[in-house]
Chain A
Amino acid sequence: MDEEPERAKRWEGGYERTWEVLKEDESGSLKATVEEILYQSKRKRVTQSHAQVRLGMMRHLYVVIDCSRSMEDQDLKPNRLTSTLKLMEGFIDEYFDQNPISQVGIITTKNKRAEKLTELAGNPKKHIAALKKAVDSSCVGEPSLYNSLRLAIQTLKHMPGHTSREILIILSSLTTCDPANICELIKTLKSLKVRVSVIGLSAEVRVCTVLTRETGGSYHVILDESHFKELLMHHVKPPPASFSSESSLIRMGFPQHTVTSLSDQDVKPSFSMSHLDSGGGPALTLGGYFCPQCQAKYTELPVECKVCGLTLVSAPHLARSFHHLFPLQAFIESPADNYQQNKFCQACQGQLKDKNVLACPLCCSVFCGECDLFIHESLHCCPCCIHNRTAT
């Protein structure tokens, strides 16, 4: 029963104040303008993402999840906590997909305290497992912004200067219980160049506005679950690097994965370094990644070598981060009439039905709106350019 009016509101929310732009076409139909609005909103996302120039590639992000009493509110289904954790799992996956050489840690705050759910680490599986476990935890008391920020700083301040230091807070409560003046802490955050962003689940809270404004983060409040997801995904893309961040050369190791079979007599099973502290799981394995510097063994990449401190990544990881540095240029939008001779999209080979088409500035291939989105959001390179390059 509750679902239906909610739906109606969502629909309305998307088209707020659109009556000014709505104009009937010759046949008196509004369809054209509605489509126009939809199309515009899609385009906006693409062009916006290209505004950035220099990006922080190696990110250190702490996600603070509010687990206070207000997370039991059922305006997100089944409740705020479950919904948030579910979305977080998707976020973690997407985050590591887009930022393979970055790290994430999770902090939860409830009952005026903050505690680490996971340490800062580059392994999505561990985070997701922790998130899955957290669903059953109870939500009690008030959150503490101060304590969670404090806890995050303790680790983040040791991170090297060329990496980004970020905190993302998912705040459901409208109140925070702080042991000291938060304004001082905001100043510290600013001086440490920690970027704090907040996603509010209920309403705009003043202290978050100040916090994000001072530290250069963003502050958004969700409207509903789909909006929540969209806002989370905003944080997947690396933020523009601040000009003051140091540039430095980083030593990196590219270990080869050695696969061995039990039949090989020379090989002995060995411990993976990453299993040493976690303790659980199959301890002795045969193959793995071996650090080129000290020969320590790891089962997963990317990781920082526990022995010699070398950052170990695989080449494909680095390549995937590459597109952030050289984003694909936005395609040029022009009315379809200019392309009378070329009525098919170069990518999907479908007929160009939209009013506007998009052309790659380099190879001048024409694409439809849908393909444009796909190219910019997933492929990150123009298929025609690549095709031409291989052809020649």
Chain B
Amino acid sequence: MKLNIEGLLVYFPYDYIYPEQYSYMLELKRTLDAKGHGVLEMPSGTGKTISLLSLIVAYQRAFPLDVTKLIYCSRTVPEIEKVVEELRKLMEFYAKETGEVNNFLALSLSSRKNLCIHPEVSSLRFGKEVDGKCHSLTASYIRAQRHGNPNLPVCRFYEEFDAVGRQVPLPAGIYNLDDLKDFGRRKGWCPYYLARYAIIHANIVVYSYHYLLDPKIADLVSKELAKKSVVVFDEAHNIDNVCIDSMSVNITRRTLDRCQNNVDTLQNTIHKIKETDAAKLREEYRRLVEGLKEANVARETDIYLANPVLPDEVLQEAVPGSIRTAEHFVGFLRRFLEYLKARLRVQHVVQESAPQFLKDIFDKVCIDRKPLRFCAERLQSLLRTLEIADIADFSAVTLISNFATLVSTYSQGFTIIIEPFEDRTPTIANPVLHFSCMDPSIAIKPVFQRFQSVVITSGTLSPLDIYPRILDFRPVTMASFTMTLARTCLCPLIVGRGNDQVALSSKFETREDFAVIRNYGNLLLEMSAVVPDGIVAFFTSYVYMENIVASWYEQGILENIQKNKLIFIETQDAAETSMALEKYQEACENGRGAILLSVARGKVSEGIDFVHHFGRAVIMFGVPYVYTQSRILKARLEYLRDQFQIRENDFLTFDAMRHAAQCVGRAIRGKTDYGLMIFADKRYARSDKRGKLPRWIQEHINDGSLNLTVDEAVQLSKHFLRQMAQPFRQEDQLGLSLLTLEQLQSEEMLQKISQMAHQT
């Protein structure tokens, strides 16, 4: 259908539209008009992706000069593929409606591991190995060596691409990862480099967060993207953690040992080269004197390691004299390494700021701030000069040099914590140095500055106003949309008491309480008898889950549950978990019924959808607070309080509630789906917790479902499930939560829609 969104003609590839999609597009258009940033929350399963794509593509066509490119960032490869499929549908619709072939180029980009078509390289299992192997085949000096010695192995796909691929632009169309690979195979070109080259002139790029947020990758891949782009971060409820992770470094004793080996190898190689080809080292020295700028004009395949700091922090000066020669630099690395080793030998926890660390390192081993800042740059240059093919081995020394550069560049927003042992096992020495970023706005700032519109969207972004605060930006639109429903297909219940009136809570004081554990078991047992097919239960942590399950086993509760349903457990082992998931789905499919016990913040809670019968109920045992005793968290909370005036408790509750919302949101993946959401903790009833749930869940929590006992919850669930099992056809939705074009254009509906977006 063709829509008119405030004067913009939008092609929408479906015959029906949800009212909230229309409203979402309105808000999005306003954001683009204002060339500003936006925060939009819309429940999953209401067609967020297609609304985004339809509107932005229409905008691009209408104002080709204002918006040149859409950069769509998603979290995982399957999600990326889903976006591309939606886009394909949209483009087919365009072609059908307008009758002309449009020259739209859209493609997805992923790592070499997902794109490589080289028979040997692509068979490797780990991403790092693939990257390293690829580098050893395609680095410019390797290729130069091949001129002298044609027997060296070669990647013919890259050679072919290098020879002709750059002249011919990628034909217009929609490319997902497989399409790129097919195209690459057909032409004999390397799909990875083809994609990286093509994103510069593509209209739409779909890739992972890291290509924009992690400075190590962003500098390589996304440097040349135009300013007039619209950036969309989908599923962005965890974006602050992604930002923080991309800037943080953890160093263990093992890292240091491997680093030691790396440094030894470097030294040996330097010796060898000195004997055979001293001119090369001299040449490098000369280049370094002239400055880094020139050193940067290397070939694309060489830049394997980029600077970990953000582009505007990179110094455009010459490398300081003390680390210019290769031997001096290796010596420097050695000294730095020894210093770190000494620091890791502490017996107590040390926390210090970056300036303190720099002062200490200067006092102890006379290392200045300036050479530290160039450490990453210098290592990169050295590795290139030494023509080391297999760079994957040098990850340890790379990590250390990244740390050196980061610690000397940023004095604010970072902290260094050295822990001699883990809190849980105080007897086993396992020293770790955390160099932890506390301010997510550091990593994302260049994105906000560079691109004219950045849209942050997800199903759970409540409370909306906290994201602009922690990411430090000023949005022009902030809106939360609810799901219009023809029937109330979600049923949030807050169970606060057991049948014996014992308050249910996972708070620390009552965590070991026998009565609470028994009542939790009772809840699961009773629910397993009334809920069909699949139930997913989330615990706050693995330890807590283990304790509870062990206790249930002793009390015989597990045995009783197994009469109703099979039980599967998520573990920290990925293979085990995926096996459990598979069997869980099978049991839901064939009528046996199953319960999956998993952990909030785990793999299951973030990435797996439990559509329809795979999740008829989600039970959240307790409030999933993050482990508050962690020093990194404490430092971050302190920082948030000082810098952004966010109280510790506010942030912790916000963080817990967004994870709770993520967990329970797993069950509802669309309007035809239905599911129970059971919050089993009396603290959920308090308004500070409840108020932080997304609006589309909140509005279905009425006062009657606030502090239920297990029995009451079971009665309500029974009634709900029977209601939902009644036949539900599309006609029931039409005109209410599903609109045709005529219905959409009616005056009454437009008025309703305009009131829908909940501005904050």
Query: Which chain A residues have a beta carbon within 8 Å of chain B's beta carbons?
Result: 9, 13, 17, 69-70, 75, 142, 145, 174-178, 181-183, 200, 202-209, 220-223
Contacts and interface: CB of A to CB of B under 8 A. Distances in A.
A205 B591 contact: yes
Contacts of A206: 532-533, 588-589, 591, 612-613
29 contacts: A9-B719, A13-B723, A17-B486, A17-B487, A70-B529, A75-B718, A174-B529, A174-B533, A174-B564, A175-B592, A176-B590, A178-B592, A200-B725, A202-B718, A203-B530, A203-B531, A203-B616, A203-B718, A204-B725, A205-B533, A205-B591, A206-B588, A206-B612, A209-B613, A220-B725, A220-B727, A221-B722, A221-B726, A223-B723
Contacts of A200: 725
A207 B137 CA distance: 53
Given A142-B563, A174-B532, 13 more contacts: A17-B486, A17-B487, A174-B530, A175-B593, A176-B590, A177-B592, A181-B590, A182-B590, A200-B725, A202-B718, A205-B533, A221-B726, A223-B726
Interface string B571-602: 00000000000000000111111000000000
A175 B591 contact: yes
A204 B530 CA distance: 10
Interface string B459-489: 0000000000000000000000000001100
B723 A174 contact: no
Interface string B120-145: 00000000000000000000000000
Chain B CB within 10 Å — which of A17, A174, A200, A221 has the most? A174
Given A142-B563, A222-B722, A174 B588 contact: no
A203 B592 contact: no
Nearest to B732: A17
B722 A203 contact: yes
Contact of B532 (A9, A182, A203, A223): A203
B447 interface: no
A208 B726 CA distance: 14
A208 B591 contact: yes
Contacts of A220: 725-727
A312 B531 CA distance: 48
Nearest to A6: B719
B724 interface: yes
Interface of B: 486-487, 529-533, 563-565, 588-593, 612-613, 616, 718-719, 721-727
A205 B532 contact: yes
A200 B612 CA distance: 17
A3 to B, nearest CB: 14
A178 B590 contact: yes
B718 A176 contact: no
B664 to A, nearest CB: 19
Contacts of B591: 145, 175-176, 178, 182, 205-208
Nearest to B735: A20
A70 B531 CA distance: 12
A223 B590 CA distance: 24
A221 B728 CA distance: 12
Given A174-B529, A174-B531, A174-B532, A202 B722 contact: yes
B670 to A, nearest CB: 16
Nearest to A13: B723
Nearest to A200: B725
Contacts of B532: 174, 202-206
Given A176-B592, A203-B532, A223 B563 contact: no
Nearest to A204: B725
Contacts of A222: 722
Given A142-B563, A182-B590, A204 B724 contact: yes
Contact of B725 (A70, A203, A207): A203
Contacts of A75: 718
A17 B487 CA distance: 9
B722 A207 contact: no
Nearest to B486: A17
Contacts of B588: 206
A75 B530 CA distance: 12
Contacts of A209: 613
Nearest to A69: B563
Considering residues B593, B616, B718, which has the most beta carbons from chain A within 10 angstroms of its beta carbon? B593
